[in-house]
Homo-oligomer: A and B are copies of this chain.
Amino acid sequence: MGDVAARFAEIVGEHNLLSGAQVGEDYARDESLTCEPRKPAYVAKPGAAEEVAALLKTAAEHGIPVTARGSGSGLSGAARPREDGLLVSFERMHAVLEIDADNQVAVVQPGVTLTELDEQTAAAGLAYTVYPGELSASVGGNVGTNAGGMRAVKYGVTRNNVVGLQAVLPTGEIIRTGGKTSKISTGYDLTQLIIGSEGTLALATEVIVKLHPRLAHSATLLAPFNDLDQVVRAVPKVISGGLEPNILEYIDNLTMAAISYNEKLSLGIPDEVRDATQAYLVVGLENRDGDRLDGDVERAGELLGELGATDVYVLDGGSARKLIEAREKAFWTAKSSGADDVIDVVVPRSEMPGFLAKVRELATAAESGAIGCGHAGDGNVHLAIFCKDPEKRHRLLHDIFAAGMAAGGAISGEHGIGQAKKDHYVELEDPAKLELLKRIKQAFDPRGILNPGVLFD
């Protein structure tokens, strides 16, 4: 063990420092389909902010790159460490420190998983309403990627639900940002700057998240449409109808077939309806009051009919849960179907029809496949890309990203840029913005130790 390793081990305790052959495969990767696994030189599992600070100081002294890892469920390779680097795994820091019902916030350690947090908030009648598809993800990882998920259409993404942080700067200081209050006008908002920075600016060691009352009544509607364009055109109308859906997803017919098959999902849709369907809209509604919910379900049904749905199914609890779970597993379905990449371009929701038409055109021209589903309420289009040739795929992705940006959107709505999409980002982003981002990075991290090679070089 070298000098540095000895120092790291001293900081976190010997059992919590892995190096060489002790480093398991899992630490070499996240769930990105395109980033090759790469084992780090060291894995440290700190137990407290002070240990994280000491690790970063030591790393800075020795010029060792540092990558933070939550649960490694990210889809952009942002938690994939450097070969010569230190991976800081937050797996031991997973306590829910406080559930504060009066201020409707929880204070948690970054390694807590969404499943763990959900269990503990449920006991208090509250909920942390950011539900990305993978609930083994950690809150720290969510902060890293600004995670979204299905409920974002009603509750917003991580950015809208985190009000404060304790964070360690790459220069070794421990700072606190924000607090148990949702408004502050006192200096630049460091909470917001750190959220979505993919572990490149600071490491979160405590997170204050907003909680909402857990509503007792919910319903899920499934509406088949004969035309994908009609589905996405319906989306703005459902939103402006004022029903405040907490889920508004589209699923194209191929994706529905694949997830139904993989997850043995049977929704009782007659064959003739299914065969004529090009895409589905899934609408989730919830209310604290059962009667109000019933009223909303009725209105939503009427509205969907007016908007061109060929039928509307109100799913029973079991089927609804299964459909949502299957939808959440769409990534695994895509992966097992041999998808070569999975992306999540975001566009203004009114631009989805045009954007999807453009995607079809580009994919056809590239003799490739692009099928998908997405958080339609947010204009977040998740596409599984089938295109084996790396160069051809790079060009196709480039064109799809450029089309999304031209429509007023961005390369990623919630998965982030990481290492997987960095080349595209650097090619397509406004150079003036990129330079500014680099100067901000420099302001936080003069030695450049935090996640080098993520976002930009």
- A residues sitting closer than 8 Å to B (CB atoms) are 100-105, 145-148, 152, 156-157, 159-160, 169, 173, 175-177, 179-190, 192-193, 195-197, 201, 213, 215, 236, 239-240, 242, 288, 292, 346-350, 375, 378-380, 408-417, 425, 429-430, 432-434, 436-437, 439-440, 442-444, 455
Contact = CB atoms under 8 A, between A and B. Distances in A.
B432 A169 contact: yes
B184 A408 contact: no
A160 B190 CA distance: 15
A432 B182 contact: no
A188 B201 contact: yes
A415 B432 CA distance: 31
4 closest Cβ contacts across the A-B interface? A192-B192, A439-B443, A102-B350, A180-B348
21 contacts: A100-B350, A102-B236, A102-B349, A152-B182, A159-B183, A179-B348, A179-B409, A179-B410, A181-B349, A183-B346, A183-B375, A183-B380, A185-B413, A186-B425, A186-B429, A189-B193, A190-B436, A192-B193, A215-B242, A292-B292, A440-B440
A194 to B, nearest CB: 9
Contacts of A197: 188
A280 to B, nearest CB: 21
Contacts of A186: 410-412, 416-417, 425, 429
Nearest to A187: B437
B160 A432 contact: no
Given A183-B157, A239-B104, A189 B192 contact: yes
B350 A103 contact: yes
Given A102-B236, A183-B378, A188-B193, 9 more contacts: A101-B240, A175-B436, A180-B350, A181-B380, A181-B410, A187-B417, A187-B433, A189-B195, A439-B444
